[in-house]
Amino acid sequence: MKKYFPYLTAFLFLLLFACTDSGEIEEVVAPIDNGPEVVVPNPSAGINDFIWKAMNDLYLWQNDVPVLADDRFNNEEYNAYLQASSAPENFFYSLLYDRENVDFFSFFVEDYVERQNSVQGISLSNGVDFGLSRYGNSNDVLGYVRLVLPGSDADGKNIKRGDIFTEVDGTQLTLSNYRSLLYGDNSTYTLAISEIINNTITPTGTTVELTKTEYTEPSVNQLRIIEEGGKKIGYLHYTQFSTQESELNAAFLELKNEGITDLVLDLRYNLGGFGSVANSLASMITGQFKGEIITKDVWNDKYQPYWEANNPDFLVDVFSDRTSGFYSDEVINSLNLSSVHVIGLSSTASASELLIVGLKPYIDVTLVGDLTFGKYTGSYTLYDSPGLFTSEEANPDHKYAIQPIVVKFGNKLGVTPQGGIQPDIMITEAIGNMGVIGSPNEPLLRAAIDDIIGVAAKPSVSKTFEYEKITDYREQQKYMNTTIVTKPGIGEAMKKMKSKN
């Protein structure tokens, strides 16, 4: 591998270039009063140097991006390239492989402190988890409440799952304004609640004022026991694979003590999180497969041969009797189940899908819902620091970081969730018929229970109101949709590899 270039020293007469909207390159100069124009060095060059080097080394598709090739530049060309590059965010996205069709997963982190908080479930939120859909023949948008998060500002107010809203602060939601109205800097806004009567949206006259505050969302949103048809069914609604690993293990201790016969794991809004927690969850559901492979990893052409030669165990994740050791180090409370029902929708992604495919070779996994998202890759958070993998000693001049895809995963048999996982029982959420999360009569949970107790499947829920989904609360939350790799050893491997070059 080509040796890394030293960090750029800015010279007074180096040219600075910037990308125009058309993609052309133009020279940027700074005028001095009563004197000649002087070329100014690119202030982003040092940050872009960190980004390029990290991507050149670790990016899964490094070999498919010509500008990331090891022999692409000599030192002089590299310095000129950094000076000609755009702002760090645009520079990062310019390095991704086929962003439209392949790598729409890697992302730029504007503030790594906010990123670190998000993976612990901490964010600014008013506690309403909603979906957004276009309806009718116009660009009008409606919101529908999916969850009211416990302990949030919305909890206890006059708003509930299934409620519909079309106005924010008296303004109709549209395709052009929903981002600014719902995801803007406004800490407080008011929703006008409506209902559907005879396929028509009708205002109820109810309004709800909501305020965003710093909020820590519990990843275990609901836990309950349902007894039907001679079965004792545990139900767990799990919203994110966060650092709250001890809380998850405690929930399984409760299920274990209750002596459940079956489990329904609700991942319908779970976009992912830490892969190590997904492995712990797989071991909590089972327990009889200690040491067996859950998933196999594939790295880029630099690291895959290195792991295979020096540490092949690094390339696999296995069932264990202890939690990850990153966020807790406890004996896992295993249920030793031979089957599990999982509720999943299009917003079930990444670590959620890793769990599903990882379990399939070992136990019966029945997916209830709709086609899942289809994310088959994992990433690291990389910082502008000597060690890349920690924010310690990070460049104090900024809080940028990057979250590039570095690995793809498959199960023991090599099966990945690419393209999404097809449901075994097709049934989807429908506005106007969403039910109550955790209620045995909620349509998706009802379908899972019926399958467990041997009741014939009912027809899929049909739309009572025509709409087209746009996005939802979690998809718009920064830094949510990813499987985060937390394996130790990558930093040390980098040092060893570089010492040989």
One-character DSSP codes across 420-434 = -PPPSEE----TT--
pLDDT, tens digit, for every residue of 195-214?
Answer: 988 888 999 999 999 999 98
Pairing of strands 425-426, 122-125: unpaired
Q: Domain 220-495 falls in which CATH fold?
A: 2-enoyl-CoA Hydratase; Chain A, domain 1 (3.90.226)
Residues of the chain with pLDDT under 70: 1-40, 118-121, 459-466, 473, 475-501
Q: Which CATH superfamily is domain 124-216 in?
A: PDZ domain (2.30.42.10)
Closest CA to 409 of 301, 298, 254: 298
Contact by Cβ (8 Å): 433, 443: yes
**pLDDT (0 to 100) of residue 21:** 37
Q: What is the pLDDT of residue 487?
A: 66
In the three-class reduction of DSSP (H, G, I as helix; E, B as strand; rest coil), residue 406 is classed as: strand
Pick from 460, 456, 383, 417: nearest CA to 229: 456
297 DSSP β-pair partners: 409
Q: Write down the pLDDT at residue 463.
A: 57
- Per DSSP, helices labelled H in 140-298 are 178-183, 245-258, 275-285
DSSP string computed for 27-92: E-EE--TTS--EE---TTHHHHHHHHHHHHHH-TTGGG-GGG-TTS--HHHHHHHHHH---HHHHH
Distance CA 15, CA 80 (A): 8
DSSP, residue by residue, 438-496: T-TTSHHHHHHHHHHHTPPPPPPPPPSS-EEEEEEHHHHSTT-S-EEP--TTHHHHHHH
What pLDDT sits at residue 277?
94
- The sign of the torsion formed by the CA atoms of 123, 125, 130, 133 equals negative
The residue extents of the domains of the chain are 17-95, 124-216, 220-495
